Amino acid sequence: ALRLEDLRIPNSYIKTFQGPPHGIQVERDKLNKYGRPLLGCTIKPKLGLSAKNYGRAVYECLRGGLDFTKDDENVNSQPFMRWRDRFVFCAEALYKAQAETGEIKGHYLNATAGTCEEMIKRAVFARELGVPIVMHDYLTGGFTANTSLAHYCRDNGLLLHIHRAMHAVIDRQKNHGMHFRVLAKALRLSGGDHIHAGTVVGK
């Protein structure tokens, strides 16, 4: 079996991609947070909450001092919590926490969908709600979809957080697949302002 450990990409090819929509400095400017790490968490339980209760958890985390909260990779549009309802309740939670703390807050709304058209529709709705950031599962969604979303985010002032869901299928085996650095380089070309790096100690 073969395993792709790394690759070198010619500068002439790199220049044909836009790369990350914005970057960390733009994120700090949007959140007005400088000189320290940004603190956030993923809402748990990841599945089972209603949109209203999910929004309440977002509010409590942001009100408690976090800079941002995020959807988990499989929080999408389930019967118990449709995406549009979740987006609305999370935006309400964000604005309430901002009003009470005087700080700018964020929530990473997962825009991943079964088609590029649906994904962009979710990103458009997030922008209309005024949230600063959306999220995408770039491996399950696909590189072309991710690049399309990165272009939309760049053009419309949205930050883009990337989740690496499904990476283990590709990079965990030592005798086949590819190293995550290859996936990370491909993402760098496709576009994302930052990526979920996993937990420090595992699950």
**Which amino acid makes up residue 48?**
G
What CATH number does the domain containing 58 carry? 3.20.20.110
- pLDDT value of residue 200: 74
34 lies in some domain: yes
Question: Considering the entire predicted model, what is its pTM?
Answer: 0.93
Q: Which stretches of the chain are DSSP H helices?
A: 11-14, 24-31, 51-63, 83-101, 116-129, 138-141, 143-156, 167-171, 180-190
For range 79-108, the mean pLDDT: 98
Q: What are 142-165's pLDDT values in tens digits?
A: 999 999 999 999 999 999 999 999
CA pair distance 106, 108, nearest whole angstrom: 7
Tokens of 23: 């970057």
Which residue range is the domain that position 70 belongs to? 3-194
**Which amino acid makes up residue 8?**
R
Number of C-beta neighbours around residue 36 at 10 A = 8
Would you name the residues annotated as active-site residues?
Answer: 44, 163
Are the C-beta atoms of 29 and 37 separated by less than 8 Å? Answer: no
pLDDT at 193 over 80: yes
47 lies in some domain: yes
122 lies in some domain: yes
Q: What are 94-132's pLDDT values in tens digits?
A: 999 999 999 999 999 999 999 999 999 999 999 999 999
68 lies in some domain: yes
- pLDDT value of residue 57: 98
203 lies in some domain: no
120 lies in some domain: yes
199 lies in some domain: no
179 lies in some domain: yes
pLDDT at 203 over 70: no
**Which amino acid makes up residue 179?**
H
The number of domains in the chain is 1
Cβ neighbors of 142 (< 8 A, separation 6 or more) are none
Are the C-beta atoms of 70 and 42 separated by less than 8 Å? Answer: yes
CA dihedral sign, ordered 81, 83, 85, 89: positive
**Which amino acid makes up residue 145?**
A
